[in-house]
C-alpha cells in the first residue's frame, strides 16, 4: 500500500528535471523534499499528481500502475506555492469544490468542509470572496480544500514561500500541529521546501534533491548530522555550511596560517588536505581567536550574519545578537573544532562530529 | 503647477467632449424638426426656437409606398447578423484561444504563435482583398444576398478579434488554476467550463463588445454581398438621399443606427467601473 517509483526521468529542452528518481513512500508518513529552486521539486510533485508524464520510469500506488490513471481520478491533493484558489467562488464553495465534484451528499460535504475550515482556523469566513482574504488566509483556504478532500496523497509545494516572515512562522507551527495529529493513517504527505529549518521542524523523512537527482534520503536528524557530501551539507543548512580548505598535520589542522587543535573525533584522520565543514553557528567571537576581516554584516531579527575573509578563505559566522561591524574591520573568531565535518577531495563525507561516518 | 495642470486637463476634456457630442446633439435636435424649422432660419432649442414634431421619426417606419423609408427590416437584419456572428465568433474564438494558450501544437515549422498570427493576419489584410473570393465563395454555395451568407462572412471577420483578445486573456490566467481543477477531480472539459470560463467573463465581455462593434459598423461586405433580397442597416442608411428623404429623417436614421453601440458602451462602462475587468486573477 505504498507510493512507489522507479527510475523516474523527465527531460525538457535537453535538461534533466528528474534524473533517475526512485523512492518508496509509505502511508501515514510525512516526507519532505529539500532542494534549491529549480532542483526538480515541483516537477516531482506534478509527476506524482499526474500533471506531468515522465519520459521513462514507473510509478505505482496501491499496487496499481499510476501512469494509466488520469489526474482527475488519482485522488491526490496539491497546494501550490502561489495561492491558487477559484477566484469566482466563495471560501465555502472553494473548499467544497472537490467534494461536489465527487458527488457526495450535501450533509457529508457540509461536515467535511466545516471540519477542514476549523482545522485551518477559517470558521466565519465561509461567505467571503477569495480576493477579500490576505495571502496567509488564501493559502489556508487552499490547504483546507486539500484537507477536506481526504486525498490519499497530499502534496504541498513550498506552501509557505510566498508568505511574509511572521505568517510563515505562524503557519509553519500550525502545519506541525495539523500533521502531527496522526493526520490520517492512510495518507502520504509530501512537502517540498527550500528551507532547511522547515525540514528540521517538520521532522519527517527527507529526500534531498539537486538538479533532478536524489542526493540523500533519510530522517531529518540523519541529514543534519551526516550529510553525505558537500552538496547536501550546502543545501541542508541555512546559511550554507562553511567549507574551508585545510591540511591535517599531526595534532593540528592548518587553515590559512592558522593552526587549530585537532578535535578528538578526527584523531584517526590521515595527514592530508581536506575540506573542513563547519556550520555558521559554530563560529564564535573570541579574544583568544584568530583575526578575520569583515566583508559584510547582515542583521536579521535578533541575529547578525557576519561574512568574513582571511586570505582566500571566506566564511560566514552567525552571531546570536545584534552587533554593528564596520566593513574591513578586523575581528577575532574561534572555531568550535568539535563540530568539524571532514569531506574528501571528491566531496564525500569522511568524518562527522556525530559519531562515525556512514557515508 | 498642479492646479494649472488640472485646469488644462479639464479644459481639454471639456472641449473634446463638446467636439464629440455636438454632432449628436445637432442630429437629435434636427430629427424633431419639420420643414419650416429646418429651412426658414437657424434653430437649436425645441419649444423655444421651434415646435418639435415626430414627423422625421415616423418616416423611418413607414413603407416606401406611403412615402417612408422603412428601415425596420434592415435594422433587424443587422441585429440578427451582428449578434449571431458575434456569438458564434466568441464561442469558436474562445475555444481556439484556450487551446492555443494551453496546449502545444506543432506541424512542421508551424507552432502556436504562428497559428495565433494566422488568425490575426486575417484582420491585417485589407478587406477588399477578400471581397472577390467571398463573392465567388458565396455565389458557389448559393448564399449570396442572404442573411446566412453574411453571418458566415462576418464570422471570418470577427473571430480573429475574439481569438486575439482571448489568447491574451488566457495567457494571464495561471496554468495552475486549470491544474488545480484537474487535481480536484475535473476532467479537462469540466476544468474549462467550471473553472476557467467563469473566471474569463471580463475577457468575454471585452471580446464580445469588439465583435459587436466591428460587426455593426461594417459597410463594405454588407454592400458587396447583398443586392435586393437582404439589406443591412449601414447600406440602407447610406442609400438614403437628401433630395428624396428629408434632413430630419436622415438625422433620425443616423441616431437609431448608432443607438445600439451607445447602449453596449454604457453596459460595458458599468462593468468597467466596477473594477471587475482585471481584478479577479493576478
Per-residue confidence (pLDDT) for residue A183, from 0 to 100 = 61
The CATH H-level (homologous superfamily) assignment of domain B73-113+142-247+257-273 is: MetI-like (1.10.3720.10)
Per-residue confidence (pLDDT) for residue B77, from 0 to 100 = 94
Burial A34-53 (b: 16+ CB within 10 A, else e): bbeeebbbbbbbbbbbbbbe
Class of domain A242-351: mainly beta
Residue B180 in this model has a pLDDT that exceeds 90: yes
Give me the phi and psi of B194, to 5 degrees please.
-90, -30
Residue A3 to residue A58: CA distance in whole angstroms: 11
Residue with cell 458557389: B140
Per-residue confidence (pLDDT) for residue A153, from 0 to 100 = 92
Kindly identify which residue of chain B lies nearest to residue A131, measuring between CA atoms: B280
Residue A127 in this model has a pLDDT that exceeds 80: yes
In the beta sheet, which residues pair with residue A188? Answer: A153
**Chain A: nearest CA to B268, how far in angstroms?**
19
Residue B276 in this model has a pLDDT that exceeds 80: no
Q: What is the mean pLDDT of residues A226-251?
A: 89
Determine whether the interchain pair B180/A51 forms a contact, defined as Cβ–Cβ distance below 8 Å: no
Residue A76 in this model has a pLDDT that exceeds 80: yes
Residue A356's pLDDT band, with cuts at 50, 70 and 90, is: low
Say what the pTM is.
0.82
Determine whether the interchain pair A71/B180 forms a contact, defined as Cβ–Cβ distance below 8 Å: no
Answer yes or no: are the C-beta atoms of A14 and A173 closer than 8 Å: no
Per-residue confidence (pLDDT) for residue A337, from 0 to 100 = 86
Per-residue confidence (pLDDT) for residue A170, from 0 to 100 = 83
Q: What is the mean pLDDT of residues A201-226?
A: 91
Per-residue confidence (pLDDT) for residue A264, from 0 to 100 = 83
Kindly write down the DSSP assignment for every residue of A188-235, as one continuous string.
EEEEEES-HHHHHHHT-EEEEEETTEEEEEEEHHHHHH--SBHHHHHH
Dihedral angle computed from the Cα positions of residues A139, A18, A39 and A4, in that order, rounded to the nearest 10 degrees: 50
Residue B277 in this model has a pLDDT that exceeds 50: no
Cβ-Cβ contacts under 8 Å, B195 against chain A: 86, 88
Determine whether the interchain pair A76/B183 forms a contact, defined as Cβ–Cβ distance below 8 Å: yes
pLDDT above 90 covers a percentage of chain A that reads 38
pLDDT above 90 covers a percentage of chain B that reads 48
Cβ-Cβ contacts under 8 Å, B185 against chain A: 72-73, 98, 101-102
Per-residue confidence (pLDDT) for residue B278, from 0 to 100 = 47
Residue A314 in this model has a pLDDT that exceeds 80: yes
Per-residue confidence (pLDDT) for residue A346, from 0 to 100 = 87
Mapped onto helix, strand or coil, the DSSP state of residue B71 is coil
pLDDT 10s digits, B244-267? 788 888 889 999 999 999 888 888
Indicate the residue of B174, B182, B185 with minimum beta-carbon distance to A51.
B182
Kindly identify which residue of chain B lies nearest to residue A49, measuring between CA atoms: B183
What are A322's three cell numbers? 545584534
Residue A28's pLDDT band, with cuts at 50, 70 and 90, is: confident
Residue A357's pLDDT band, with cuts at 50, 70 and 90, is: very low
Q: What is the mean pLDDT of residues A3-30?
A: 90
Q: If we measure between CA atoms, which residue out of B234, B242, B232, B245 comes closest to residue B55?
A: B245
Alpha helices per DSSP H over chain A: 41-49, 91-101, 106-120, 135-148, 165-180, 196-202, 220-225, 230-235
Determine whether the interchain pair B195/A131 forms a contact, defined as Cβ–Cβ distance below 8 Å: no
Size of the A and B interface in Cβ pairs below 8 Å: 57
Cβ-Cβ contacts under 8 Å, A49 against chain B: 179, 183
When comparing pLDDT for A41 and A181, which is higher? A41
Answer yes or no: are the C-beta atoms of A263 and A326 closer than 8 Å: no
Kindly identify which residue of chain B lies nearest to residue A77, measuring between CA atoms: B183
Domain boundaries, chain B: 2-53, 73-113+142-247+257-273
Residue A155 to residue A143: CA distance in whole angstroms: 10
When comparing pLDDT for B51 and B174, which is higher? B174
Residue B274's pLDDT band, with cuts at 50, 70 and 90, is: low
Domain boundaries, chain A: 3-227, 242-351
User: Which H, E and C letters describe B222-276, residue by residue?
Assistant: HHHCCCCCCCCHHHHHHHCCCCCCCHHHHHHHHHHHHHHHHHHHHHHHHHHHCCC
Per-residue confidence (pLDDT) for residue A359, from 0 to 100 = 39
Residue B44 in this model has a pLDDT that exceeds 80: no
A184 DSSP 8-state letter: -
Based on its alpha-carbon atoms, the radius of gyration of chain B, rounded to whole angstroms, reads 24
- Mean pLDDT over all residues of chain A? 88
pLDDT 10s digits, B194-249? 999 998 888 898 899 989 999 999 999 999 999 888 989 999 888 888 777 888 88
- Mean pLDDT over all residues of chain B? 88
Burial class (CB in 10 A: 0-12, 13-18, 19+), A345: exposed
Residue B275 in this model has a pLDDT that exceeds 70: no
Q: What is the mean pLDDT of residues B129-153?
A: 93
Identify whether A239 is preceded by a cis peptide bond (ω within 30 of 0): yes
Answer yes or no: are the C-beta atoms of B228 and B145 closer than 8 Å: yes
Residue A358 in this model has a pLDDT that exceeds 60: no
Per-residue confidence (pLDDT) for residue B279, from 0 to 100 = 43
Answer yes or no: are the C-beta atoms of B53 and B43 closer than 8 Å: no
Determine whether the interchain pair B182/A71 forms a contact, defined as Cβ–Cβ distance below 8 Å: yes
Kindly identify which residue of chain B lies nearest to residue A80, measuring between CA atoms: B176
Determine whether the interchain pair B281/A82 forms a contact, defined as Cβ–Cβ distance below 8 Å: no
Residue B86 in this model has a pLDDT that exceeds 90: yes
Per-residue confidence (pLDDT) for residue B280, from 0 to 100 = 45
Residue A115 in this model has a pLDDT that exceeds 70: yes
Q: What is the mean pLDDT of residues A67-82?
A: 90
Kindly write down the DSSP assignment for every residue of A275-319, as one continuous string.
EEEE-GGGEEEEEEEEEEEEEEEEEETTEEEEEEEETTEEEEEEE
Per-residue confidence (pLDDT) for residue A286, from 0 to 100 = 86
Residue B115 in this model has a pLDDT that exceeds 50: yes
Dihedral angle computed from the Cα positions of residues A244, A248, A253 and A256, in that order, rounded to the nearest 10 degrees: -50
Residue A194's pLDDT band, with cuts at 50, 70 and 90, is: very high
Cβ-Cβ contacts under 8 Å, B280 against chain A: 87-88, 131
Quick one: fold of A3-227? Rossmann fold (3.40.50)
Amino acid at each position: 500500500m505504498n507510493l512507489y517509483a522507479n527510475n523516474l526521468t523527465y527531460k525538457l529542452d535537453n535538461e534533466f528535471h528528474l534524473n533517475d528518481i526512485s523512492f518508496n513512500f509509505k502511508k501515514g508518513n510525512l516526507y519532505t523534499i529539500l532542494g534549491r529552486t529549480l532542483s526538480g521539486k515541483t516537477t516531482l510533485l506534478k509527476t506524482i499528481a499526474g500533471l506531468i508524464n515522465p519520459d521513462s520510469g514507473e510509478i505505482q500506488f496501491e499496487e496499481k500502475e499510476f501512469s494509466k490513471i488520469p489526474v482527475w481520478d488519482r485522488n491526490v491533493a496539491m497546494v501550490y506555492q502561489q495561492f491558487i484558489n477559484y477566484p469566482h467562488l466563495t471560501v465555502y464553495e472553494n473548499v467544497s469544490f472537490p467534494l461536489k465534484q465527487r458527488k457526495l451528499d450535501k450533509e457529508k460535504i457540509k461536515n467535511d468542509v466545516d471540519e477542514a475550515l476549523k482545522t485551518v482556523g477559517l470558521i466565519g469566513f465561509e461567505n467571503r470572496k477569495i480576493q477579500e482574504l490576505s495571502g496567509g488566509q488564501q493559502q489556508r483556504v487552499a490547504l483546507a480544500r486539500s484537507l477536506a478532500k481526504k486525498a490519499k496523497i497530499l502534496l504541498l509545494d513550498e506552501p509557505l514561500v510566498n508568505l511574509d516572515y511572521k505568517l510563515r512562522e505562524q503557519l509553519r507551527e500550525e502545519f506541525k500541529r495539523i500533521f502531527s495529529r496522526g493526520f490520517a493513517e492512510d495518507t502520504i504527505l509530501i512537502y517540498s521546501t527550500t528551507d532547511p529549518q522547515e525540514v528540521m521542524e517538520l521532522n519527517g523523512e527527507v529526500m534531498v534533491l539537486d538538479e533532478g537527482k536524489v542526493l540523500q534520503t533519510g530522517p531529518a536528524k540523519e541529514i543534519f548530522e551526516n550529510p553525505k557530501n558537500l552538496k547536501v551539507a550546502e543545501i541542508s543548512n541555512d546559511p550554507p555550511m562553511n567549507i574551508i580548505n585545510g591540511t591535517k598535520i599531526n595534532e593540528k589542522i592548518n587553515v590559512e596560517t592558522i593552526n587549530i587543535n585537532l578535535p578528538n573525533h578526527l584523531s584517526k584522520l590521515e595527514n592530508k588536505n581536506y575540506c573542513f565543514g563547519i556550520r555558521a553557528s559554530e563560529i564564535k567571537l573570541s579574544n583568544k581567536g584568530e583575526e578575520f576581516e569583515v566583508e559584510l554584516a547582515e542583521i536579521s531579527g535578533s541575529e547578525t550574519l557576519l561574512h568574513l575573509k582571511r586570505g582566500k578563505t571566506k566564511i560566514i559566522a552567525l552571531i546570536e545578537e545584534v552587533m554593528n561591524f564596520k566593513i574591513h574591520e578586523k575581528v577575532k573568531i574561534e572555531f568550535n573544532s568539535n563540530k568539524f565535518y571532514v569531506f574528501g577531495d571528491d566531496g564525500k563525507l569522511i568524518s562527522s562530529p556525530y559519531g562515525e561516518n556512514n557515508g | 503647477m498642479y492646479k494649472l495642470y488640472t485646469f488644462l486637463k479639464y479644459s481639454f476634456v471639456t472641449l473634446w467632449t463638446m467636439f464629440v457630442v455636438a454632432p449628436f446633439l445637432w442630429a437629435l435636435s434636427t430629427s424633431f424638426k419639420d420643414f419650416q424649422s429646418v429651412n426658414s432660419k437657424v434653430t437649436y432649442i425645441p419649444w423655444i426656437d421651434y415646435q418639435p414634431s415626430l414627423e422625421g421619426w415616423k418616416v423611418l417606419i413607414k413603407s416606401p409606398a406611403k412615402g417612408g423609408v422603412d428601415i425596420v427590416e434592415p435594422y433587424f437584419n443587422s441585429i440578427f447578423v451582428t449578434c449571431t456572428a458575434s456569438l458564434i465568433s466568441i464561442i469558436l474564438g474562445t475555444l481556439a484561444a484556450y487551446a492555443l494558450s494551453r496546449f502545444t501544437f506543432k506541424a512542421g515549422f508551424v507552432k502556436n504563435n504562428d497559428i495565433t498570427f494566422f488568425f490575426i493576419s486575417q484582420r491585417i489584410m485589407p478587406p477588399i482583398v477578400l471581397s472577390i473570393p467571398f463573392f465567388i465563395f458565396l455565389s458557389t454555395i448559393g448564399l449570396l444576398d442572404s442573411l446566412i451568407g453574411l453571418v458566415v462572412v462576418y464570422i471570418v471577420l470577427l473571430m480573429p478579434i475574439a481569438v486575439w483578445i482571448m489568447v491574451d486573456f488566457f495567457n494571464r490566467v495561471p496554468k495552475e488554476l486549470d491544474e488545480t481543477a484537474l487535481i480536484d477531480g475535473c476532467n479537462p472539459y469540466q476544468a474549462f467550463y467550471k473553472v476557467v470560463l467563469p473566471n474569463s467573463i471580463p475577457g468575454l465581455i471585452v471580446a464580445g463588445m469588439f465583435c459587436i462593434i466591428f460587426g455593426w459598423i461594417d459597410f463594405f461586405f454588407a454592400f458587396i454581398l447583398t443586392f435586393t433580397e437582404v439589406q443591412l442597416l449601414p447600406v440602407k442608411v447610406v442609400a438614403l438621399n437628401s433630395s428624396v428623404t428629408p434632413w430630419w429623417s436622415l438625422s433620425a436614421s443616423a441616431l437609431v443606427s448608432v443607438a445600439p453601440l451607445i447602449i453596449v458602451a454604457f453596459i460595458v462602462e458599468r462593468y468597467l467601473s466596477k473594477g471587475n475587468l482585471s481584478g479577479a486573477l493576478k
